Amino acid sequence: MDAREREVLERIERRRRRPARLRDDVVTLAHGAGGSASRTLVEALFAAELDNPLLAALGDSAVLDAPPGARLAITTDAFVVTPLEFPGGDIGGLAVSGTVNDLAMAGARPLALTASFVIEEGFAVDRLRRIVASMAATARTAGVPVAAGDTKVVERGKADGLYISTSGVGAVADGTDLDPAGIRPGDRVLVSGPIGDHGMAIMLARGDLALAGDIVSDAAPLGGLVAGLLAACGPAVRCLRDPTRGGLATVLNEFARTAGVGLAIAEAAIPVRPVVAGACELLGIDPLYVANEGKLVAVVAPDAADAALAALRADPLGAEAALIGEARAEPGGMVVLDTAFGGTRVVDMLVGNPLPRIC
């Protein structure tokens, strides 16, 4: 243990012996002014909930040790979901899952995250602590520390409660190269489970619709699921993507256009929970365009399809994985759907924004 590590551990121990106390019930502008109130908020809430050695120094940056020979992947995202808490999750856990999943789709193991909070004056401290605790729990599940952060407070009515931005750095092992440009005719398309859960859970949670249904967001970190898939199939995995905004249809179109191939998908093979399908039908929304936060789409070489499906189903997050289609030489750059009624239709990119503020 070097001198810097000893100093960090000592600082953690001192903080545990003399923890800062946050006595305010709501966030005020003083908490964003950079003085003692800011320090108390950071130490008593953020540092307490997200406690880890990288964050303990409370510096302006964290220094990471990258694995030898690994390439680094970096990503950033902002989260403005409404409501902030919803069945199956909240903005804190979603912010971690979304960023970790973006790294995982590049085949990267997350090394550290950063988080930036824009908080509206008057936001309840208990609610903020609950959201940050959820963020910490999701980070522990994903095996990644929140190593650095920033907090800003804005006037009432200027931030709709709370916005969170997260960035992540991950290590990509040598030999891992996931790129839609590598898709070839004959490759198989898989999805790791039922689609549309997150988007419809958010819509129903808003309470603006005269609908009721037991729909829970699928938000979850997918690093373990991806690791199992890559371990089983290696270079046979052409590419991965999490179908968030724009849903499955948008991801498939991005794949087809990048690779210049056609993707033929069987409607009957795409898993959709009946309650989600029913809600989508009542709202006139195609489940193919509804956001997911705990699913992935994988394209694999044809001789690896069975192994890939087995690897996904071996993980609880992929237990309902399905093989839904294949790549073809024609029609290049397009996605076609074989419908349950025996017909065929073109599936295009999402137009407009039928489900705003879902992440």
Q: What are 116-165's pLDDT values in tens digits?
A: 999 999 999 999 999 999 999 999 999 999 999 999 999 999 999 999 99
Task: Say yes or no to pLDDT of 294 above 80.
Answer: yes
Q: Domain check: are 116 and 187 in the same one?
A: no
Q: What mean pLDDT is predicted for residues 93-110?
A: 97
Q: Domain check: are 145 and 230 in the same one?
A: no
Q: What is the DSSP letter of 111?
A: E
Q: What is the DSSP string of 301-356?
A: -GGGHHHHHHHHHTSGGGTT-EEEEEEESSSTT-EEEE-TTS-EEEE----S-SS-
Q: Domain check: are 333 and 258 in the same one?
A: yes
Residue 357 within any structural domain of the chain: no
Q: Domain check: are 131 and 237 in the same one?
A: no
Could you report the per-residue pLDDT of 38-65, keeping only the tens digit for each?
Answer: 999 999 999 999 999 999 888 888 888 8
Range of the domain at 296: 180-347
Q: How many C-beta atoms lie closer than 10 Å to residue 123's C-beta?
A: 21
How high is the pLDDT of residue 283? 87
Place of tokens 């030999």: 175
Residue 136 within any structural domain of the chain: yes
Q: Domain check: are 39 and 75 in the same one?
A: yes
Q: Domain check: are 142 and 165 in the same one?
A: yes
Of 172, 197, 221, which residue constitutes the final position of a domain?
Answer: 172
Q: Domain check: are 112 and 258 in the same one?
A: no
Could you report the per-residue pLDDT of 342-358, keeping only the tens digit for each?
Answer: 899 999 988 877 788 99
> In the chain, how many domains are there?
2
CATH code at 87? Answer: 3.30.1330.10
Q: What is the DSSP letter of 230?
A: H
Q: Domain check: are 121 and 163 in the same one?
A: yes
Q: Domain check: are 259 and 140 in the same one?
A: no
CATH code at 335? Answer: 3.90.650.10
How high is the pLDDT of residue 13? 61
Of 172, 190, 216, which residue constitutes the final position of a domain?
Answer: 172
- First and final C-alpha spacing in the chain: 41
Instruction: Specify which residues 337 forms β-bridges with.
Output: 265, 345
Task: Say yes or no to pLDDT of 212 above 70.
Answer: no
Q: What mean pLDDT is predicted for residues 7-29?
A: 74
Residue 353 within any structural domain of the chain: no
- Dihedrals phi, psi of 27, to nearest 5 degrees: -80, 135
Q: Which of 191, 181, 178, 97 is nearest to 144 (CA)?
A: 97
Of 156, 172, 188, which residue constitutes the final position of a domain?
Answer: 172
Q: Domain check: are 155 and 184 in the same one?
A: no
Q: Domain check: are 279 and 149 in the same one?
A: no
- Predicted TM-score (pTM) of the model is 0.91
Q: What mean pLDDT is predicted for residues 85-105?
A: 97
Residue 352 within any structural domain of the chain: no
Q: What mean pLDDT is predicted for residues 220-232?
A: 98
How high is the pLDDT of residue 207? 81
Q: Domain check: are 314 and 343 in the same one?
A: yes
8 A C-beta contact, residue 46 and residue 116: no
Residue 210 within any structural domain of the chain: yes
Residues with Cβ within 8 Å of 356's Cβ and at least 6 positions away in sequence, in order, are: none
Q: What is the DSSP string of 61-106?
A: -----PPTTPEEEEEEEEE--SSSEETTEEHHHHHHHHHHHHHHTT
Q: What mean pLDDT is predicted for residues 253-275?
A: 97
How high is the pLDDT of residue 8? 62
Residue 148 within any structural domain of the chain: yes
Sign of the alpha-carbon torsion through 184, 315, 231, 309:
negative
Mean pLDDT of the chain, nearest integer: 93
Task: Say yes or no to pLDDT of 16 above 60.
Answer: no
